[in-house]
A and B are shown apart, each in its own frame.
Chain A
């Protein structure tokens, strides 16, 4: 309330001077937060991250340091300081507010956590008081008038500079991801602080228009961007120093890849598949059976390439066998039937133990002792020193999995942007009209279903070797531990249907958050549900929206028709057509 009144009076008197003053206050507050991180916040190292040092920041203080700096820089950019204006092409106020809020939230989260964990405000050293007060000062930005403006045409930079920017952004991205992955797994505080900080900072950068500017740049240099993404991904295992971190990395990559495969089925062809995890299982079981494991009922040892082909072919066959009868159904019926088939797979694996059925899978015991992969004498279970860094087993599998991911990304983007991809989208949009345009609906849907199954099967073959054990209980419909069909579907929906980045981001978030926050695991399914409800309410197109979907859900944005003056006519046409 008080903010409202003060804002109106401020605007009526001297808006410009007052705004400049508020921005200056914000900048000073940001600096104060920065300074506070060089002081000790508490007296004991019992609090995770050891915030007891005077002279340099540590643990959660680093987050406050970075956000405080960003707040100061954004405040200076808002004051039109020369050389900083490129930071806020779409308006500075909303970005500045979010940055200020982020600094405040992260710092106060930390100091409150100190008080709660250690029992009382007595545990605050003077630095904590400075931080608490200093980080509250930038909230002055909340009183600033809104100055959101349409994106300005960017200044022309030489192309080497633009490419350098892309490289720098990917490097920063890798650093940020690494920071999150390497937070102390035994205490939830650092990761929670990280989530708060990254969330606010990302929102601020989005509002400032930098994200839009960056996506324009990456679209301009597509091949450079792809190369940078690949290099970043390859660099990931080289920057880890603990096996638990590379294990996180390889698991994230596997689930992200499988989610991307599911995105072909759900996002492009619009077939709601609730039993997708079964195809990952088919691939994993096939690879396990031909791996030469002592527990395998087949006494064969395929080389890896043959195992991958076997996994892909068996998954393809399963995809066609399951798809052929079910794809005659539409919508909800298809969802129910695929859910059923997913469970049938798990129960079948459980019962093929030689007692209830043929002896193939060892039933609930699964197939343990899957031997490590060996390609051209390169043993995946041993440590290898490459470029002075030691790559452990998980890092080796990470690099192998990356190859699969690249294949899946290529398949997704190439198939999606072709005759068959257009047919999928047409089927998703209106099946009757699509068949009237000469599309054989059943055939095209079966191709999507089988392709999705095959890609999951390939990922499954690697997954079996990473886990060294396959058991039926991994392939349930919903459960606390990924992979399960709900997890994969949630990753696709949360991230953004029909996009490449969406499932990758969605799977990363959904996997990393419960892993880092141990206390969270009991409530994981509840949190899934809440997260999905929130996404459906506030951002139904997912975190990374598909251009089509964004327009679908936010009708008034008219992103594709900015040059047309007769927008009102268009709007009338839309309502008429839908009436």
Chain B
């Protein structure tokens, strides 16, 4: 990894209350440059709310968020301007714009041609437009969507829509990329490809903070993982530490307690399953002809 570990983003004591409900309770989080940080937690733990606090969609009730030492303003477009880009949990592309136009919209903060230069069409405008287009095509090349630049984004397959959202976010040349469940609904191959993509983004010098439910994806990818449970930070550490922490497991699947009424049955079922697994291994080769017979019988 990179040797410089200056913090890119640091959130301290972020609390978000909706009326009487505290969705996020004094969460601290630091993302260093060149790092991929994971944010996990069971459903309703407040991950996306926390994301929205970071990106200015919500104004945190308490606490503050700094990006490279400066406090982020509570307006989404200013956060993006500062250098924090994001994707959305439910894809939010500009459905009726082409793939290229989507990425060009992402370039908005890094260009400044206003109405007048658009109307007058001076050489500066043409240069800026060409440069934007070139950068956008680079990003489409990077995400593997270059040959679909002229398609409407609504017509892309699901996996490519996710990729396009990432390309669009990258177009603002962010120092930190926030990915909200980038592999939701993907098959294993697509997940694998996304993993590669996130590594490539990190290698280009963009820190990444990612929310995900796919544990294999998270533990492969992240340098550090933070676990959020019921709005509070439970633990933070390397994947190994988090993976073996009992509280994390408990948060996801609950804790067994002494003398639970179902314990005996659970033990029985487990024993039976183990036995069955063994039996299946033994009869493995003979299983095929058996099923063929069954099929012929069905046919008659």
- A93-111 CB contact bits vs B (8 Å, 1 = yes)? 0000000000000000000
Q: In this assembly, does B113 line the interface, its C-beta being within 8 Å of a C-beta of chain A?
A: yes
Q: Which of A18-26, A51-59, A201-209, A414-422 contacts B (4 or more CB under 8 A)?
A: A414-422
B97 lies within 8 A of A426 (CB) = yes
Instruction: Give bound CA distance, A440 to B75, whole Å.
Output: 9
Instruction: Give bound CA distance, A421 to B118, whole Å.
Output: 9
**A433, A572, A574, A576: most-surrounded residue (chain B CB, <10 A):** A433
- A384-419 CB contact bits vs B (8 Å, 1 = yes)? 000000000000000000000000001100110011
Among A532-579, those with CB < 8 Å from B are 548-549, 551-552, 558, 560-561, 569-570, 572-574, 576-577
- B48-82 CB contact bits vs A (8 Å, 1 = yes)? 00000001010000000000000000011100110
A418 lies within 8 A of B113 (CB) = yes
Q: In this assembly, does A437 line the interface, its C-beta being within 8 Å of a C-beta of chain B?
A: yes
B55 lies within 8 A of A422 (CB) = no
Q: Enumerate chain B residues within 8 angstroms of A410, measured Cβ to Cβ.
A: 119
Q: Enumerate chain B residues within 8 angstroms of A432, measured Cβ to Cβ.
A: 57, 76, 92
Instruction: Find A438's partner among B97, B109, B128, B154 (CB 8 Å cutoff).
Output: B109
Q: In this assembly, does B121 line the interface, its C-beta being within 8 Å of a C-beta of chain A?
A: yes
B77 lies within 8 A of A441 (CB) = yes
Instruction: Give bound CA distance, A561 to B98, whole Å.
Output: 11
Instruction: Give bound CA distance, A561 to B80, whole Å.
Output: 32
Q: In this assembly, does A425 line the interface, its C-beta being within 8 Å of a C-beta of chain B?
A: yes
Q: What range describes how many residues of A lie at the interface?
A: 35 or more
A435 lies within 8 A of B77 (CB) = yes
Q: Enumerate chain A residues within 8 angstroms of B39, measured Cβ to Cβ.
A: none
Q: Given that A569-B157, A573-B161 are contacting pairs, would A423 and B94 also be in contact in the complex, using a CB cutoff of 8 Å?
A: no
Q: Which of B100-108, B209-217, B273-281 contacts A (4 or more CB under 8 A)?
A: B100-108
Q: In this assembly, does A436 line the interface, its C-beta being within 8 Å of a C-beta of chain B?
A: yes
Q: In this assembly, does B88 line the interface, its C-beta being within 8 Å of a C-beta of chain A?
A: yes
Q: Enumerate chain A residues within 8 angstroms of B150, measured Cβ to Cβ.
A: 560
B104 lies within 8 A of A440 (CB) = no
Q: Given that A420-B114, A548-B152, A561-B151 are contacting pairs, would A436 and B57 also be in contact in the complex, using a CB cutoff of 8 Å?
A: yes
Instruction: Find A414's partner among B101, B106, B121 (CB 8 Å cutoff).
Output: B121
B104 to A, closest residue via Cβ: A422
Q: In this assembly, does A489 line the interface, its C-beta being within 8 Å of a C-beta of chain B?
A: no
Q: In this assembly, does B27 line the interface, its C-beta being within 8 Å of a C-beta of chain A?
A: no
Instruction: Give bound CA distance, A458 to B262, whole Å.
Output: 81
A577 lies within 8 A of B154 (CB) = yes
Q: Enumerate chain A residues within 8 angstroms of B128, measured Cβ to Cβ.
A: 419
**B77, B88, B159: most-surrounded residue (chain A CB, <10 A):** B77
Q: In this assembly, does B238 line the interface, its C-beta being within 8 Å of a C-beta of chain A?
A: no
Q: In this assembly, does B202 line the interface, its C-beta being within 8 Å of a C-beta of chain A?
A: no
B155 lies within 8 A of A573 (CB) = yes
Instruction: Give bound CA distance, A433 to B97, whole Å.
Output: 13
Q: In this assembly, does B234 line the interface, its C-beta being within 8 Å of a C-beta of chain A?
A: no
B115 lies within 8 A of A447 (CB) = yes
Q: Given that A411-B119, A570-B157, A573-B156 are contacting pairs, would A436 and B113 also be in contact in the complex, using a CB cutoff of 8 Å?
A: no
B115 lies within 8 A of A436 (CB) = no
Q: Given that A558-B155, A560-B152, A577-B158 are contacting pairs, would A426 and B94 also be in contact in the complex, using a CB cutoff of 8 Å?
A: yes
Among B140-184, those with CB < 8 Å from A are 150-152, 154-161, 168-169, 172
Instruction: Find A436's partner among B55, B91, B101, B129 (CB 8 Å cutoff).
Output: B55
Q: Given that A419-B113, A433-B94 are contacting pairs, would A438 and B108 also be in contact in the complex, using a CB cutoff of 8 Å?
A: yes
A420 lies within 8 A of B151 (CB) = no
Q: In this assembly, does B251 line the interface, its C-beta being within 8 Å of a C-beta of chain A?
A: no
Instruction: Give bound CA distance, A277 to B133, whole Å.
Output: 38
Instruction: Give bound CA distance, A269 to B115, whole Å.
Output: 14
Q: In this assembly, does B93 line the interface, its C-beta being within 8 Å of a C-beta of chain A?
A: yes
A433 lies within 8 A of B172 (CB) = no
The distance from the CB of B66 to the nearest CB of chain A, in whole angstroms, is 19
The distance from the CB of B299 to the nearest CB of chain A, in whole angstroms, is 31
A429 lies within 8 A of B160 (CB) = no
A577 lies within 8 A of B105 (CB) = no
B95 lies within 8 A of A429 (CB) = yes
Q: Enumerate chain B residues within 8 angstroms of A14, measured Cβ to Cβ.
A: none
Q: In this assembly, does B43 line the interface, its C-beta being within 8 Å of a C-beta of chain A?
A: no
A433 lies within 8 A of B155 (CB) = no
The distance from the CB of A186 to the nearest CB of chain B, in whole angstroms, is 45
Q: In this assembly, does B86 line the interface, its C-beta being within 8 Å of a C-beta of chain A?
A: yes
Q: In this assembly, does A439 line the interface, its C-beta being within 8 Å of a C-beta of chain B?
A: yes
Q: Given that A548-B97, A574-B155 are contacting pairs, would A418 and B105 also be in contact in the complex, using a CB cutoff of 8 Å?
A: no
Q: In this assembly, does A430 line the interface, its C-beta being within 8 Å of a C-beta of chain B?
A: yes
Q: Enumerate chain A residues within 8 angstroms of B104, measured Cβ to Cβ.
A: 419, 422
Q: In this assembly, does B111 line the interface, its C-beta being within 8 Å of a C-beta of chain A?
A: yes
A423 lies within 8 A of B119 (CB) = no
The distance from the CB of B211 to the nearest CB of chain A, in whole angstroms, is 15
A422 lies within 8 A of B158 (CB) = no
Q: Enumerate chain A residues within 8 angstroms of B92, measured Cβ to Cβ.
A: 430, 432-433, 436
The distance from the CB of B166 to the nearest CB of chain A, in whole angstroms, is 13
Q: In this assembly, does A434 line the interface, its C-beta being within 8 Å of a C-beta of chain B?
A: yes
The distance from the CB of B98 to the nearest CB of chain A, in whole angstroms, is 7
The distance from the CB of A432 to the nearest CB of chain B, in whole angstroms, is 7
The distance from the CB of A62 to the nearest CB of chain B, in whole angstroms, is 43
The distance from the CB of B81 to the nearest CB of chain A, in whole angstroms, is 5
Q: Enumerate chain B residues within 8 angstroms of A411, measured Cβ to Cβ.
A: 119
Q: In this assembly, does B125 line the interface, its C-beta being within 8 Å of a C-beta of chain A?
A: yes
B118 lies within 8 A of A434 (CB) = no
A429 lies within 8 A of B96 (CB) = yes
Q: In this assembly, does A491 line the interface, its C-beta being within 8 Å of a C-beta of chain B?
A: no
The distance from the CB of A556 to the nearest CB of chain B, in whole angstroms, is 11
- B213-240 CB contact bits vs A (8 Å, 1 = yes)? 0000000000000000000000000000
B114 lies within 8 A of A422 (CB) = no
Q: Enumerate chain B residues within 8 angstroms of A436, measured Cβ to Cβ.
A: 55, 57, 76-77, 80, 85-86, 88, 92
A429 lies within 8 A of B157 (CB) = no
The distance from the CB of B195 to the nearest CB of chain A, in whole angstroms, is 21
The distance from the CB of B93 to the nearest CB of chain A, in whole angstroms, is 7
Instruction: Give bound CA distance, A142 to B194, whole Å.
Output: 56
A437 lies within 8 A of B108 (CB) = yes
Q: In this assembly, does A310 line the interface, its C-beta being within 8 Å of a C-beta of chain B?
A: no
B97 lies within 8 A of A422 (CB) = yes
Q: In this assembly, does B261 line the interface, its C-beta being within 8 Å of a C-beta of chain A?
A: no
Q: In this assembly, does A451 line the interface, its C-beta being within 8 Å of a C-beta of chain B?
A: yes
- B227-265 CB contact bits vs A (8 Å, 1 = yes)? 000000000000000000000000000000000000000
Q: Enumerate chain B residues within 8 angstroms of A573, measured Cβ to Cβ.
A: 155-161
**A415, A418, A440, A576: most-surrounded residue (chain B CB, <10 A):** A418
Q: Enumerate chain A residues within 8 angstroms of B129, measured Cβ to Cβ.
A: 418-419
Instruction: Give bound CA distance, A419 to B128, whole Å.
Output: 10
Query: Can you name 20 extra interface pairs (CB under 8 A) apart from A414-B119, A436-B57, A560-B155?
Result: A414-B118, A414-B121, A415-B118, A418-B129, A419-B118, A422-B105, A423-B108, A425-B96, A429-B94, A433-B92, A437-B168, A438-B77, A438-B109, A447-B115, A549-B96, A551-B155, A552-B154, A560-B152, A573-B155, A573-B159
Report 16 cross-chain contacts, Cβ distance below 8 Å, ordered by A residue: A410-B119, A414-B121, A419-B108, A421-B118, A432-B76, A434-B105, A436-B77, A437-B106, A438-B80, A447-B115, A560-B152, A561-B151, A570-B156, A573-B158, A573-B160, A577-B154
The 6 closest A-B pairs by CB, nearest first: A573-B157, A438-B109, A418-B118, A438-B80, A433-B92, A429-B94
